[in-house]
Structure formats: structure tokens, C-alpha cells
């Protein structure tokens, strides 16, 4: 007999018939000898409807009242599902987040779970009842017992957190697609179902726009080793398993606020190559990385900064032993790129730097917590270490620094994030058969900010991202330009990054209002962008993956505005209008399409 947590999303409980179908599945699972906790979302598009009501009354509704309003959606479903189960003769009891004891921090509309009281649930389970729990909501631990919500899509997080707290055998997420597909089937009907995916890969995909799982749910599954499967609530097909390695005895106290950084890593065996002033038009990155991959050179970090005028900078790092080869390719291609960039007389230029090191912090707990990257930058600044390149993913921030600073950087970071020398989470090595690209995601909800003429001194990144963190703005894809402008004798660079669209204007205002104080220039906002990303643990050590992605975009005349990579993902920012097309051509380029077409239920 197993203890199972099942979660049913909005479409899966969208009507009386759907609720009855869910009751049937739950009933069958209990009849098979299992104990069951069922987490449900609000019916259909109820939550969207409630948001609309609120915004019809107020442009900026109070967050506390939003929680009061939005939490009602799930309360309807739990009562109806319990009734449907009782009709089948199955004892069941509905419980709100507060009744269960899902205790969260007080941050309205985006609360994190602190702990879950299990006594009441265990008692009801002992009595042979099915527990039907409202997803997406909790209660704050402060005296007032305020109702909180976890953020849109948060029912997945409720379910996995309950599974972790109860020590359930596994957690099943039932939804309107057959599992996790290579991309969103609404945009690419030929998307293919995967049998499994690692938590690390899914964390990236989820946070890069694959809505099928809430990233925080994946974070909890990874941190507590909860076996997790995503399945269709319409069929009995097995779905997709999200795999993780079970860590030893992680505390359930501060469940979502436990240590955000699990590990500090470094790599001194890297060299940096930058191509400055390459033309800003489709095909340049494709050509450069195409040539490089023909030489079998594997690149690690790639960043392309915002353009000034009509040229771009592209920088990348390679392992030191293959630097000479990569340098030769870059030097050979630079004049060709220059000759194409007329009428500008500017020259493309190759810049090599050998004495560098990459230091990284990693941990699923940094998702949605803007203060963590800022703390890393501040720690390096306090140690007087200048940051040359920054590359971010949802679960990792890497900085390229001077090689001589590496030891100090690592020691300072280990102290700040309280990391002993061995990582606290077991490593999940990809199986040899892992494909280079597992999935492709599109995020249309990002905007790009660029700060001009930021002084190139230790502490600058810390200031910028510290300011944003104070205002609770999460930053993604941070890119510093390679080119230096000397202004009043001070070297300056541009820094660009992406933020959620809804935070963009506030972020711009905050940064602009500190421009004089910190001495940076204009803060430029572009809302019309899309971010398209490929994710796969198998791309590590595989030359040519980036080249293939860039070539697919170039062949379709899609210009790349920014590039940022981490070990298991490559993201490109393109024009918003070309986002869907970019997703489709990349999906095709990596031959991810299947033979079947998916039709998502309405
Ligand atoms: P639920 O209401 O069940 O939580 P969601 O709408 O939150 O469902 O998530 C399911 C949707 O996620 C699918 O209908 C699909 O359009 C979208 N989606 C985006 N990317 C993917 C992907 N890679 N695999 C499967 N579904 C995806
Ligand atoms: N009902 C909430 C939402 O629509 C939570 C969820 O469905 O996961 O965001
Ligand atoms: Mg969802």
C-alpha cells in the first residue's frame, strides 16, 4: 500500500463531469489499496476571472485582498470533489490550506511554505478518508493567521510540498497534456512526449517558460527527492517522470526557505575570447560558432551583449588547452565579419584573456529570490574582486573573475553561503543516453533593461542587483558588454538583463533614480522581446549545440539580441514578434518533433 499525493489542475476539474471523472480515478486508486491526498486547483479559468474582477475595481489591488479573493477558487473545488467522492461511497474530507496547516511566510500573493503540520492529515488518513486539499494557498504563521497564496500556478507546489512533508511514496500531477513534452504543444503540435527528465533539466525548462510545472514544485521535489510524475487526467498513459536523487535527512522546517545555495564551484582551466564590434544582423553567431564547432571545440559560457549602433560583442569561454584552436577560428573569421559590416568603418576585434577563473554558486533555492545573486556580487565586491562576465540560470550564477582572485572568491562565497567543502545535495549525473537537447521553451513575459556606462569597478553589479532585490525584482540573463568606454578617466561598460514584464517599469524607475548617485547613464527598457531557450543535461561537452541553435535562427532571418548560457541551457533574446517562429524552427532543428500531433483539450 502506498501513500500518494495527486494534484489536478484547472482544466482537469473544469466542470461537474470532469470533477466526477477525477472522483472515479481517486476512488479506483483507493480501491487498489492506496491512501490518498488530493490537491486541486480552482475550476477552469476561475482564477483568471477573479483577477479580472479585482482589476476592474482597482489597478493596483491590495495584495492581502487579492489573496482573500483568489483563495476562494480552490475552496469551491475541494467541496465539490469531496461530495463527488462521497456520492461514490468513498469517505472524504475537504480542507483549506489553513485547516491542513500549510504555514507560509506572510508575503501575500507569493508566499513560500515554511512548514506543514501533518497530525490532522495523518489522523484522517488513519480513518480511511481521502483528503481533498485546496492547492495554491496557506496561512501565515504570524498571530493574525492571514490567508496567503503561493503565486500563480502554485497548486503544483502545494502538492509536492505535501508529498515531502507526509513522506509520500510519490506525487502525481494530473493535467491537460499527456506529460512533459519537448515544447508547448499549443505552439508546436508535433511536440513529443518524454518518458523522463531530470529535476535539474525540468527546473530550467519550468523557469524558462514551460508552464506545465511550477518551478518551485520542481525545486521541492529535487531538495527532498520526491518522486514526481506528470500525467494526463484523461487517460491512463504513464506520463513523464521527473527524476532526482534522494538526499539524506533534509529538515522539513523552513521547507521552501532552507539554504538557497547548495554548492560553490570553480574552474580555473578556462580562457575567454571576445569578438568586439561584430555586425548586428542575423547569422553572425551562427557563423562564428559553426566554424568553431567544425574544429570540434566545445565552448562553455557564451554571452552576447546588447548592441550599440549596429554592432554587437560576443564573448565565450573555452577550456585552456583548446584556446589556440578557438583563437585561430575567431581571428580568421573577424576580418570577414568586418567586411560585411559596412558602411561602418569600425573593425571587429578579437580579444583573448587567459588568466581567468569561473566561480559559481548553485542551488534550486535561489529561484525567485533576487537577493541571492546580489549577495554573491556583494561578497565578491567586499573581497575587492572585479567581475568580468556574469552568466545566470535559475539555479546557478557564474562569474568570470581574474584567475589570481579565484581562491579568495571561493573562500568568501563559501563563508557567505555557509557551504562546507562537500556539496549538500548529491549530484545527478546524466545517463549516457541523455539527448543534448531535451526541450525548448518560450518566455514571452520578459522585458529587457540596459544600463549604459556603468563603471567597471568591483561592487557595481552588487549595487545594481542589490537595489533590484530590495524591490523584490528577480533578474534573469545578466550580461555585461565586453567593450569598455572611458568616461572621465573611468572605464565603463553597459549591463543588460531581463526581468519579468510586470516588474520592468518599476525596475527602470528604481535604477534611473539612482543614476546620479551611482554614476551610471541612461536606463533603457525594451518590452517587445521574447526569450527562447534550449535545455538538456546532454549538451555538456557536446560541441555544436549552440551553433545549431544559432543557425536555425539565422536561416529564418531571426536576429539574436542577447545570448546567455549555462551548462545545461542556452537562451537567446529575439524580437517579440519572432518568438513563436523562433521556438518552432529550433524545435525542428533539433529533430524533436514526433509523428503524433497533440490536441490540447479546451
Ligand atoms: P494545470 O491547470 O493542469 O496546472 P497548466 O495550464 O498550468 O495546467 O499547465 C499545462 C499546460 O502547460 C499545457 O496545456 C501546455 O500548453 C503548457 N506547456 C508549456 N510547455 C509545456 C511542455 N514542455 N510540456 C507540456 N506542456 C507544456
Ligand atoms: N488556481 C491557481 C492559478 O490559476 C493555482 C493553480 O492553478 O495552480 O494560478
Ligand atoms: Mg499549472
Distance CA(479)–CA(494), nearest Å, equals 8
What CATH number has the domain spanning 263-423+438-589?
3.30.2130.10
pLDDT bin (cut points 50, 70, 90) of residue 320 is: confident
Compute the average pLDDT of residues 365-391: 86
CATH class belonging to 3-243: alpha beta
What is the DSSP pairing of strand 263-279 with strand 311-319? antiparallel
Give residues (CB < 6 A) around ligand 1. Answer: 9-12, 41, 153, 175-177, 180-181, 183-184, 186, 210-212, 439, 600
Residues with Cβ within 8 Å of residue 216, at least 6 apart in sequence: 112, 150, 151, 154, 156, 157, 256, 367, 368
Over the stretch 170-191, which tens digit does the pLDDT of each residue have? 999 999 999 999 999 999 999 9
The pLDDT, as a whole number, for residue 440 is 97
Residues with Cβ within 8 Å of residue 561, at least 6 apart in sequence: 304, 306, 307, 448, 529, 572, 573, 574, 575
Q: Is 70 exceeded by the pLDDT of residue 340?
A: no
Average pLDDT of the chain is 89
Compute the average pLDDT of residues 496-504: 89
The pLDDT, as a whole number, for residue 595 is 81
Would you say how long the chain is, in residues? 602
Over the stretch 519-552, which tens digit does the pLDDT of each residue have? 888 999 999 999 999 999 988 878 889 989 999 9
The pLDDT, as a whole number, for residue 344 is 53
Q: Whose CA is nearest to atom 6 of ligand 2?
A: 153
Lowest mean pLDDT across 80-89, 155-164, 462-471: 462-471
| % of the chain at pLDDT higher than 90 | 56
Closest CA to 42 of 84, 78, 85: 78
Compute the average pLDDT of residues 43-53: 98
Helix (H) or strand (E) holding 412: helix 406-416
Closest ligand (CA of 206): 1
Q: Are 590 and 534 in contact (CB under 8 A)?
A: yes
Distance CA(253)–CA(114), nearest Å, equals 6
Q: What is the DSSP letter of 151?
A: -
Distance CA(121)–CA(124), nearest Å, equals 5
pLDDT bin (cut points 50, 70, 90) of residue 484 is: confident
Compute the average pLDDT of residues 378-388: 90
* Count of C-beta atoms within a 10 Å radius of residue 117: 12
Over the stretch 72-90, which tens digit does the pLDDT of each residue have? 999 999 999 999 999 999 9
Q: Is 80 exceeded by the pLDDT of residue 487?
A: no
Q: Is 70 exceeded by the pLDDT of residue 426?
A: no
The pLDDT, as a whole number, for residue 463 is 87
The pLDDT, as a whole number, for residue 347 is 65
Q: Is 154 in the pocket of ligand 2 (CB under 6 A)?
A: yes
Distance CA(566)–CA(373), nearest Å, equals 15
pLDDT bin (cut points 50, 70, 90) of residue 422 is: low
Q: What does pTM read for this prediction?
A: 0.90
Q: How far apart are the first and last CA of the chain?
A: 35
CA of 500 to the centre of ligand 2 (A): 19
Measured from the Cα of 158, ligand 2's closest atom is 8
Measured from the Cα of 45, ligand 2's closest atom is 4
pLDDT bin (cut points 50, 70, 90) of residue 341 is: very low
Residues β-bridged to residue 358 = 267, 400
Asked, as a colleague might, if the bond just before 465 is cis with ω within 30 of 0, I would say no
Q: Where are the domains of the chain?
A: 3-243, 263-423+438-589
pLDDT bin (cut points 50, 70, 90) of residue 300 is: confident
Residues with Cβ within 8 Å of residue 354, at least 6 apart in sequence: 271, 272, 320, 323
Q: Are 395 and 366 in contact (CB under 8 A)?
A: yes
Helices (H) and strands (E) in the chain, counts: 17, 27
Compute the average pLDDT of residues 450-462: 84
Amino acid at each position: 500500500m502506498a501513500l500518494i499525493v495527486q494534484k489536478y489542475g484547472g482544466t482537469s476539474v473544469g466542470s461537474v463531469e470532469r470533477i466526477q471523472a477525477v472522483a472515479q480515478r481517486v476512488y479506483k486508486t483507493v480501491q487498489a489499496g492506496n491512501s490518498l491526498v488530493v490537491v486541486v486547483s480552482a475550476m477552469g479559468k476561475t482564477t483568471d476571472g477573479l483577477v479580472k474582477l479585482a482589476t476592474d475595481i482597482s489597478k493596483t489591488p491590495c495584495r492581502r485582498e487579492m489573496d482573500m479573493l483568489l483563495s476562494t477558487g480552490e475552496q469551491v473545488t475541494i467541496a465539490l470533489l469531496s461530495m463527488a467522492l462521497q456520492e461514490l461511497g468513498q469517505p472524504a474530507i475537504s480542507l483549506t490550506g489553513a485547516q491542513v496547516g500549510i504555514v507560509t511566510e506572510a508575503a501575500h500573493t507569493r508566499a513560500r511554505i515554511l512548514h506543514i503540520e501533518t497530525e490532522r492529515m495523518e489522523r484522517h488518513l488513519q480513518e480511511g478518508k481521502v483528503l481533498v486539499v485546496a492547492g495554491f494557498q496557506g496561512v501565515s504563521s504570524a498571530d493574525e493567521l492571514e490567508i496567503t497564496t503561493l503565486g500563480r500556478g502554485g497548486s503544483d507546489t502545494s502538492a509536492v510540498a505535501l508529498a515531502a512533508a507526509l513522506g509520500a511514496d510519490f506525487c502525481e500531477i494530473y493535467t491537460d497534456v499527456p506529460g512533459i513534452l519537448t515544447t508547448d504543444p499549443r505552439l508546436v503540435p508535433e511536440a513529443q512526449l518524454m518518458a523522463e527528465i531530470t529535476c535539474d533539466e525540468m527546473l530550467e525548462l519550468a523557469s524558462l517558460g514551460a508552464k506545465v510545472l511550477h518551478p518551485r514544485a520542481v525545486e521541492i521535489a529535487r531538495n527532498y527527492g520526491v518522486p514526481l510524475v506528470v500525467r494526463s487526467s484523461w487517460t491512463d498513459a504513464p506520463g513523464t517522470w521527473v527524476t532526482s536523487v534522494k538526499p539524506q535527512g533534509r529538515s522539513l522546517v523552513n521547507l521552501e526557505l532552507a539554504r538557497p545555495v547548495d554548492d560553490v564551484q570553480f574552474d580555473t582551466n578556462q580562457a575567454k575570447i571576445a569578438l568586439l564590434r561584430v555586425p548586428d544582423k542575423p547569422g553572425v553567431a551562427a557563423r562564428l560558432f559553426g566554424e568553431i564547432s567544425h574544429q570540434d571545440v566545445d565552448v562553455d559560457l557564451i554571452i552576447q551583449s546588447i548592441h550599440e549602433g549596429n554592432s554587437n560583442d560576443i564573448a565565450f569561454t573555452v577550456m585552456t588547452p583548446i584556446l589556440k584552436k578557438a583563437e585561430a577560428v575567431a581571428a580568421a573569421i573577424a576580418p570577414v565579419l568586418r567586411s560585411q559590416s559596412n558602411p561602418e568603418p569600425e573593425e571587429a576585434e578579437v580579444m583573448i584573456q587567459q588568466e581567468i577563473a569561473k566561480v559559481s554558486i548553485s542551488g534550486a533555492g535561489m529561484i525567485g529570490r533576487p537577493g541571492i545573486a546580489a549577495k554573491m556580487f556583494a561578497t565578491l565586491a567586499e573581497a575587492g574582486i572585479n567581475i568580468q562576465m556574469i552568466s545566470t540560470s535559475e539555479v546557478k550564477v557564474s562569474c568570470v573573475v581574474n584567475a589570481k582572485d579565484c581562491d579568495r572568491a571561493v573562500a568568501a562565497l563559501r563563508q557567505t553561503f555557509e557551504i562546507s567543502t562537500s556539496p549538500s545535495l548529491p549530484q545527478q549525473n546524466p545517463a549516457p543516453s541523455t539527448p543534448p537537447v531535451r526541450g525548448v521553451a518560450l518566455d514571452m513575459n520578459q522585458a529587457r533593461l540596459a544600463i549604459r556606462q556603468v563603471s567597471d569597478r568591483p561592487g557595481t553589479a552588487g549595487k545594481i542587483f542589490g537595489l533590484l532585490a530590495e524591490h523584490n525584482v528577480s533578474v534573469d540573463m545578466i550580461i555585461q558588454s565586453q567593450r569598455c568606454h572611458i568616461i572621465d578617466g573611468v572605464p565603463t561598460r553597459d549591463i543588460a538583463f531581463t526581468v519579468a514584464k510586470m516588474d520592468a517599469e518599476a525596475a527602470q524607475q528604481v535604477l534611473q533614480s539612482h543614476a546620479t548617485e551611482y554614476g551610471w547613464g541612461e536606463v533603457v527598457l525594451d518590452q517587445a522581446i521574447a526569450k527562447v531557450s534550449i535545455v538538456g543535461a546532454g549538451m555538456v561537452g557536446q560541441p555544436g549545440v549552440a551553433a545549431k541553435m544559432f543557425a536555425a535562427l539565422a536561416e529564418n532571418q531571426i536576429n539574436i539580441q542577447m545570448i546567455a548560457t549555462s551548462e545545461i541551457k542556452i537562451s537567446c533574446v529575439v524580437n517579440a514578434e519572432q518568438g513563436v517562429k523562433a521556438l518552432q524552427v529550433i524545435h525542428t532543428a533539433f529533430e524533436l518533433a514526433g509523428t503524433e500531433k497533440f490536441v490540447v483539450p479546451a
